[in-house]
Amino acid sequence: MIKNYIKTAFRTLVKNKGFTAINILGLALGLATCLLIVFYVVDELSYDRYNVNADRIYRVNEDLKLGDYKVQYAVAMPPLAKTLINDFPDVENAVRIKRAAISIKKGDEYLPENNVVFADPSVFDVFTLPLIYGDKATLLKDPNTIVISASAALKYFNKLNVIGQQLTIPNYGSLKITGVIKDIPRQSHFYADFLMAMISWPDSRTNEWLRSDYNTYVLMRKGADYKKLEASFPQLLRKYSGQEMQKAVGMSIDDFEKKGSYFKMSLMPLTDIHLHSNMTGELGVNGTTQYIYIFSAIALFILIIACVNFMNLSTARSASRAREVGVRKVLGSPRKYLIAQFLMESVLVTFAATLIAVIAAVLILPAFNNLSDKNIVIDTPTLSWLVPALLIEILVVGFLAGAYPALFLSAFKPVNVLKGKLTGGFKGGGLRSFLVVFQFAVSIFLIIGTLVIYTQLKYMQSRDVGYNRDQVLVIQNAWELNNRAKIFKQEIQQLPGVVNATLTGFLPTSANRNTSVFFKDATKDPKKSIFPQAWHVDNDYIKTLGMTIVKGRAFSAQMPTDSNALVINETAAKFLAFTDPINKTLYKQDGNTMKPFTIIGVVKDFNFTSLRQNITPVVMQLDYDNGNLAIRVQTANLPNLLSQIENKWKAIAPSAQFKYSFMDADFEAAYRTEQRMGQLFIIFTSLAIIIACLGLFGLAAYAAEQRNKEIGIRKVLGASVANIVTMLSADFIKLVFIAMLIALPVAWYMMHQWLQNFAYRVGIHWWILAIAGIIALSIAFITVSFQSIKAALTNPVKSLKSE
């Protein structure tokens, strides 16, 4: 029986090639898109789950409120990890990780490396880092030792077994390789090719409890409740931080909290970090659940649209299948057999569409990886869930998409069918109209979403961020020059085409940040404090970056007193609430005394974090920092100037690699995630519209076929092509108008909510809604008009010759 169902279904599908092609193509497009989105979502949700003990690992976070200023940190104090192990039996182990940047000698040059961390030996007990070579019991326990990844071993030695080999690193000397690990999976919230012994970092042995520099993770014992450990943190802070707090701000933790401030610690599950954490001091760039929800919804909508196409086209063909149903029933076929027959057709279409979708998804996957910055591969673990999921999808989609057509077609009464009472009608139009409205409502929603995202991205790229990022060359590893960096800057400033240069570790487009506490007087009252970004700059910083002084003046080499001066941003000035901040004094803890600083200028606010966040207070002070050299250039021959700068670099540091970027490119990179998401949104929206149009195209074709004789009669009676096209298009255009009325307010509300994630954002203007409506109407009209014009141009003799 099943064999007969399959054979009959196959013959029917082959007989109706146009219907079959539209259905298979629509479903294949929808399923391929869904597959890619599922790959993306699964990849995002799988972060850090490669760790065997992922469900028992937690990161320590800190929350600080000082006066009105609040900040969250992903780092903790140096002695915390050891204290947690010693004082809390529920803690099985703990590890500290600190991000670093180094250069490693290879041949005659030094290559910069950014995937570097300092780590405690316990990193191999807390995290799952499979060892290829080395003795786990001794890894990272001795100073000047390092563990490297397989990729790093091949890069520097062209082999994996490099135990005992040396890596030469400026400022650290020669480090002995004691272990080689497998590459850390990309689905990790941090990635490292080089793990250096934490004991080699002098600051790691400090016992300070008011400094937070280390990403700290705890491994809880099986069955232990991390909430109990979290509840003990306030007492732990009072025990170990109390004296330092008294010394720093002149009061106990209890008094500190009574004045409205607080310092808290909390635990975050390891598997929540990637999608739920965006704090200061993250080890890498994390994702967001927002895009997971958005793309999951798009995948669901696209799949529904593809299924709706099948249902619409199947019921629209009711007239052409009615006589077949009538004859089968007269010959004694029960309704359940007819339902089974129609469901088999649906399952076959879904199977063919799934096969095409899988092939398409595999072929498109490399381009999708490149666009989404992923490294998704279809390996054995992926196939273990993908194959069963596809089999279930074929059955579920096949039955869901085919259920209504099967029930609808099998319900025809043979007496009415054989009398021809159904051939002139278009039964089931109410549901079809509803489904068309649903399709286009979703499409209009996606069009509006795309326009809003695109507009916001353009705004982010063109907004005045408070500094001029154009034509600024950034030498990223100026720190390798050590005390020769100042000489290098002076030589660069003499080159033709160089406007100015500044030596600093703090740039608006860099990730380096530093916070400090300043007080309005020497009493250390938290209510009179400010907790700003404290940036070390030189005299040329403000001029080089094209910042604007709105009050007072910038730093000057002609003013020796500027060594104790500050330039603050407008937000800091508002926070301090001075009537006029110029020449006012701020105090900062310096050993046992409070050191005074005089405010000499206020700089216009500039964005140094994502436009999702408000600008926070910034305090600049003169201090030597050779992290980067930013050079403002103005030349028609940039390659020649770059060559001259590189020659100056080689003259001072012949073995160090010349590593540079341009500030405008660094700025673009900071918003690359939003740009990628915007591009993906545009692609998915386009696919949804194409799928909806395929269904509308098919419906229009069958509508024209159903009204074939009516069109012939109208043409004989003098109707023009325009009249007939208008008549056939009107019903569909009405449905699109209804879809607009539903989609416009929903889309406005949802995108308004999305924009609230940005501190600096565009508004949803009326023209965005208007453009979305016009696009939807135009697409629908063009799609329907193609079939309408074709029907209108048909010779009426052909449609009426049988009458």
Which of 16-30, 132-146, 206-220, 259-273 bottoms out in mean pLDDT, i.e. has the lowest? 16-30
Which of 127-136, 333-342, 373-382 bottoms out in mean pLDDT, i.e. has the lowest? 333-342
Overall pTM > 0.85: no
| Mean pLDDT on 285-290 | 84
Query: Which secondary-structure segment (H or E) carries 605?
Result: none
How does DSSP classify residue 479? G
Q: What are the DSSP calls for 710-755, one per residue?
A: HHHHHHHTT--HHHHHHHHHHHHHHHHHHHHHHHHHHHHHHHHHHH
C-beta atoms surrounding 344 within 10 Å: 22
Quick: pLDDT tens for 70-124: 778 899 999 999 999 999 999 999 999 999 888 898 888 888 888 999 999 999 9
Q: Count Cβ atoms within 10 A of the Cβ of residue 748 and give its class: 0-12 exposed, 13-18 middle, 19 or more buried.
A: middle
C-beta atoms surrounding 249 within 10 Å: 23
Quick: pLDDT tens for 743-780: 999 999 988 988 888 888 888 888 888 988 888 888 88
* Local structure of 471: helix, strand or coil: coil
| Mean pLDDT on 48-57 | 95
322 pLDDT higher than 70: no
pLDDT at 315: 66
Better pLDDT: 795 or 166: 166
8 pLDDT higher than 70: no
Instruction: Indicate the average pLDDT of the chain.
Output: 85
Cβ 60 vs Cβ 217: under 8 Å: yes
Among 440, 446, 449, which residue's Cα sits nearest to residue 751? 449
Which of 45-59, 176-190, 257-271 bottoms out in mean pLDDT, i.e. has the lowest? 257-271
Helix, strand, coil distribution of the chain in percent, nearest 5: 55, 20, 30
| Mean pLDDT on 700-725 | 75
Q: Percent of the chain, pLDDT > 90? A: 37
For residue 662, the cross-strand partners are 473
Cα torsion at 786, 787, 793, 798 (round to 10°)? 160
The encoded tokens of residue 767 equal 């023209």
pLDDT at 252: 75
pLDDT at 145: 95
pLDDT at 426: 41
Cβ 669 vs Cβ 535: under 8 Å: no
* Local structure of 789: helix, strand or coil: helix
Better pLDDT: 403 or 180: 180
Q: Percent of the chain, pLDDT > 70? A: 90
| Mean pLDDT on 451-468 | 86
Better pLDDT: 286 or 330: 286
Q: How far apart are CA 509 and CA 478, in angstroms?
A: 16
The CA-atom distances, in angstroms, between 734 and each of 384, 694, 741, 745 are 47, 18, 11, 18
Quick: pLDDT tens for 430-451: 767 787 888 888 888 888 988 8
pLDDT interval class at 128 (50, 70, 90): very high
591 pLDDT higher than 80: no
pLDDT at 791: 72
Better pLDDT: 647 or 786: 647
The CA-atom distances, in angstroms, between 184 and each of 92, 130, 155, 191 are 23, 9, 16, 6
The encoded tokens of residue 362 equal 């595999």
pLDDT at 630: 95
pLDDT interval class at 53 (50, 70, 90): very high
Q: Tell me the backbone φ, ψ of residue 543, rounded to 5 degrees.
A: -70, -40
Which of 360-374, 387-401, 402-416 bottoms out in mean pLDDT, i.e. has the lowest? 402-416
Q: Tell me the backbone φ, ψ of residue 99, rounded to 5 degrees.
A: -70, 145
